[in-house]
Structure 1
Amino acid sequence: MRQITDQYHFIGIGGDGMSGLAQVLREQGCQVSGSNLEENHRVRELRPLGIPVYLGHDPEYLPPAGTVVFSSAIPAENRELRAARQRQLRVIHRQDLLAELMNQRPSIGVAGTHGKTTTTAMIALLFERSGLDPTFLIGSPSRSLGGHAKWGSGTHLIAEVDESDGYFTGLKAQMAVITNIDRDHLNYYGNEEALEHSFGRFLSGSEYAVLSADDPHTPWLQRRAARLLTFGFAPQADLQARRLERDGLRTRCRLFFQGRRLGELELAVPGRHNVANALAALAVGHLNGLKFGAMCSILREFSLPERRFQVLEEQGMTVVDDYAHLPTQIKINLETIREGWTPRRLWAVFQPHRYSRMRYMSQQFAQAFALADRVIVTDIYPAFEQPIPGVSARQVAQAIAREHPQVHYAQDKEEVLRLLRCQARPGDFIIGFGPGDIWQVLYRFAALGRPQIKG
């Protein structure tokens, strides 16, 4: 990587991954600027760090020299990006910048379809509370860490790795963690085999692999690992959880390492999936010399990252915001609620994410909502995509309705809010699903307090 006096300019600096990289570079001593299409909370967090952020995209925002960073969300025809290339500035993808940072120090890269944000946050917390002062880059902030990015004085860099656009195959993490692999991003990969092979290429660049013994792709992946440690619930896992107990937001299990009982792991977060995330984090900590007892104590009060089963209201009814947007994630979260709570009725509010994903996946949501009593589907959140003819949220609602008797299609967020205010009752559990802006409805509903009860 270049000297820390370099200038970096981020096109689309308000994204979660881009803002974290910008913060770490600024804390390292770099001059950093950026542009973003609109004002958001990430932009507002960066300005007090001394990072000027311009709204909109314009060649005038570019520095006279230095490195320009972009992400896959920025189209090739973006005028600011085109001008940077025409001026022969150094232009790199954000994953290439992450690769440069990872090459500076021993690195831990956390990839996988589900759970990578939570697992990365757990690893970062273990290292932080153990006095190792790591650098970390996470897709979403956690109250436990006070943010989602930091440049530390310690030797380790811990990074969440995004597999959506294939760039992650060029990263060389010293330790590669793969939480699981599920059918996603096929608009880029084309088929599941290509997706699996991309994780194999990511793994092949590491010195040590930490893999889930519960994932069906692991037998193929482990043949590509130089050294390996597995985690999970399966009997063959090196680090294994047994006898899971659930009580609302708290989860407990017995912990075993290579057949030897270590003690009990207790988490202040719900669900079997979060136990799996914790096992992955504990495995990484163990490989870096941390003691299981001390790590379990640290994780006992771990708080989930923002928008991961985030409880907004518990007075009279429970309202939760969650990032889940794939069938497996949604099904697991609904199972978690049924196992830890006894609601009067369970509402699932779903905002599908990206037209390209719904083009090949809309029919797969039919079974995902089986455990919900009521389902509301609202319009697709496009992210940076343009609409695709013939792809709509109404198709998703129709697919779910073939398996579920209580599905309502709401054209917009205002209709979702009206439905909840008119029909939700005390004792109900309401969970919203999607990485888009469905959280705005849930926050407004929670803030309004009691529902409108008629009659």
Structure 2
Amino acid sequence: AGQRVFLIGACGTGMTALALLLREAGVAVSGCDVRADPPTGPQLRAAGVDLRMGYQAESLDSQADLVVVGNAVRSDNPVVQAAEAAGLPMTHMPAMLNALIGDRPRIVIAGTHGKSTTSTVVAWLLDQAGLDPGWFIGATPTFGASGRLGTGPFVLEGDEYNASFFDREAKFFHYHPTILGLTNVEFDHADLYPDLAAIEAAFERLVRQPSLGTVVLAPEAIRFAAAVPAAVQSIRIGDSTAFSVIGSAPDGVRFRLGARDLRFPLPGRHGATDAAIAWLCATAAGADPDVAADALARFPGLRLRQERLDSQRWVLIRDFGHHPTEIANTLAGLREAWPGRHLVAVFEPRSYTARTDRMRDEWAGAFATADEVLLAPVYRPDALSEPALDTRRLAAEIDVPARACADWTELEQTIDAIEAGAVIVLFSNGIMDGLPERLVQKDQAG
């Protein structure tokens, strides 16, 4: 309390959660970014963060006690250079989090896909169990903000991306988990990891962290069990703990975990896997198993993760999916939940890896469950250091009817022509040029 902290890249999902934690701790927070789109921008302003638009030297609070640099910010950023010239101490987000959390028990959820959903479910279960958890999540829960200080166990979404331009280590190495949940590991972040082996090496190091007492491994992550130290409890879903999906419907999935039947409101096997990890991590952290089971069935969801939008014409869903496997899993779950409906996948290649041509073969197979695929323009292909994904070539290689749209106007007009009652999923880890909001507005206008 009483300190002044300035955030460079304040509107990133992680930096927003950090800002909320700092404000709850009584810290005066200001920061800058080039965009302040919902939900992060409004969250920051509502929390009393002095948000300044643009990366110019004048944006800096020259009286700040500490400057926190977001991981997307480069060393040549004018605000970074101004902070260096002013002699202000600088740190990164994981280090700031460590200072806030202190010596509380930490539950870290890591993996290529499912981190945000699983972390949010753990936070929800611990909250409903009365343990007053804190959390730091790279998404926005519908039941609260993305960051909360609390007093009990602390839940962290453990990202494998680098901490900052001056610390290329994965963020999760800074979090020192007591309990670790691992969802899956695949190739991603081509700008940081040269290949799958490099990513696997990072996760093998993670499961050997000396702070660990319990590791929960999803079926897709059981190959890391051999790296878990003998002194650490290893819970292997589908191996040491029985796991099976009973059935999926629009209102969620039912599954068996050990001797217990559980229900989770998001459909599909991958939803059941995320829920199983969350229940095991929460109960390992002290949540009553029966209370956690009841709360699991009442999970209210989070934004941009199979988020149902307000449409009377279609089943319109927005999802953060930006990797072939997670999109394939989401489509499979939605196909099971809505059998017989026309299923349309709309995809914006926006993350660094998705924008490149490296995974075109994987993308060609990712949409097999859909009835129709619409590809948006590649986001900022000029910013890549390698060839961009050729969406027209990809559309020709997809086995279901697919169309590569030249611009957002063509994409929107194509969606407008889709039959009523269809299930349309908008996949992107960005704002999609405002398309989701425009579709909802037109629907409501009749």
Q: TM-score, normalised by structure 2?
A: 0.91
How much does 1:397 deviate?
4.1
CA separation of 1:358/1:226 partners in 2, compared to 1, >3 Å: closer, same or farther?
Answer: farther
How much does 1:439 deviate?
7.5
Q: Which residue of 2 aligns with 1:218?
A: 223
Confirm or deny: 8 A CA contact 1:363 1:396 kept in the other structure: no
1:288 and 2:285 matched: yes
Per-residue Cα deviation, 1:251-294 (whole angstroms, up to 9, x for no partner)? 112231xxxx23x2112221111111111111112212222211
Q: Which residue of 2 aligns with 1:139?
A: 138
Amino acid aligned to 2:124: L
Q: Which residue of 2 aligns with 1:167?
A: 171
Which piece of structure 1 moves more, 343-352 or 443-452?
Answer: 443-452
Per-residue Cα deviation, 1:195-225 (whole angstroms, up to 9, x for no partner)? 1111222232232243324125534554347
Q: Which residue of 1 aligns with 2:28?
A: 31
Q: 2:318 aligns with which of 321, 324, 331?
A: 321
Q: Which residue of 2 aligns with 1:128?
A: 127
SS at structure 1 position matched to 2:325: helix
Confirm or deny: 8 A CA contact 1:355 1:388 kept in the other structure: no
How much does 1:389 deviate?
5.7
Q: How far apart, CA to CA, are the structure 2 residues paired with 1:343 and 1:315?
A: 18
Confirm or deny: 8 A CA contact 1:209 1:225 kept in the other structure: no
1:404 and 2:395 matched: no
SS at structure 2 position matched to 1:141: coil
Q: How far apart, CA to CA, are the structure 2 residues paired with 1:96 and 1:181?
A: 25
Amino acid aligned to 2:427: F
CA separation of 1:342/1:220 partners in 2, compared to 1, >3 Å: closer, same or farther?
Answer: closer
Amino acid aligned to 1:297: D
1:443 and 2:437 matched: yes
Matching of residues 33-432 of structure 1 within 5 Å: 33-41=30-38, 42-60=40-58, 61-143=60-142, 145-152=143-150, 154-165=151-162, 166-205=170-209, 206-216=211-221, 218-219=223-224, 222-224=227-229, 226-232=231-237, 234=238, 236-238=239-241, 240-256=242-258, 261-262=259-260, 264-313=261-310, 315-359=312-356, 360-382=358-380, 386-388=383-385, 390-392=387-389, 395-422=390-417, 424-432=418-426
Which piece of structure 1 moves more, 160-169 or 9-18?
Answer: 160-169
Q: Mark the runs of 5 or more structure 2 residues left unpaired by the alignment.
A: 163-169
**How many aligned positions are there?**
435
1:13 and 2:20 matched: no
Q: How far apart, CA to CA, are the structure 1 residues paired with 2:123 and 2:334?
A: 27
Confirm or deny: 8 A CA contact 2:125 2:292 kept in the other structure: yes
Amino acid aligned to 1:410: C
Q: How far apart, CA to CA, are the structure 1 residues paired with 2:400 and 2:135?
A: 45
How much does 1:438 deviate?
2.4
Q: How far apart, CA to CA, are the structure 2 residues paired with 1:325 and 1:111?
A: 16
Q: Mark the runs of 5 or more structure 1 residues left unpaired by the alignment.
A: none
Q: Which residue of 1 aligns with 2:167?
A: none
SS at structure 2 position matched to 1:158: strand
CA separation of 1:196/1:220 partners in 2, compared to 1, >3 Å: closer, same or farther?
Answer: farther
Per-residue Cα deviation, 1:363-390 (whole angstroms, up to 9, x for no partner)? 320101111111111112349x814463
How much does 1:94 deviate?
1.4
CA separation of 1:447/1:245 partners in 2, compared to 1, >3 Å: closer, same or farther?
Answer: same
Per-residue Cα deviation, 1:170-210 (whole angstroms, up to 9, x for no partner)? 33122222111111113211111111111222232232243
Confirm or deny: 8 A CA contact 2:9 2:32 kept in the other structure: yes
Q: How far apart, CA to CA, are the structure 2 residues paired with 1:179 and 1:188?
A: 20
SS at structure 2 position matched to 1:76: coil
RMSD: 2.3
Per-residue Cα deviation, 1:266-323 (whole angstroms, up to 9, x for no partner)? 1222111111111111111221222221111011110221011111145342111111
CA separation of 1:188/1:224 partners in 2, compared to 1, >3 Å: closer, same or farther?
Answer: farther
How much does 1:357 deviate?
4.1
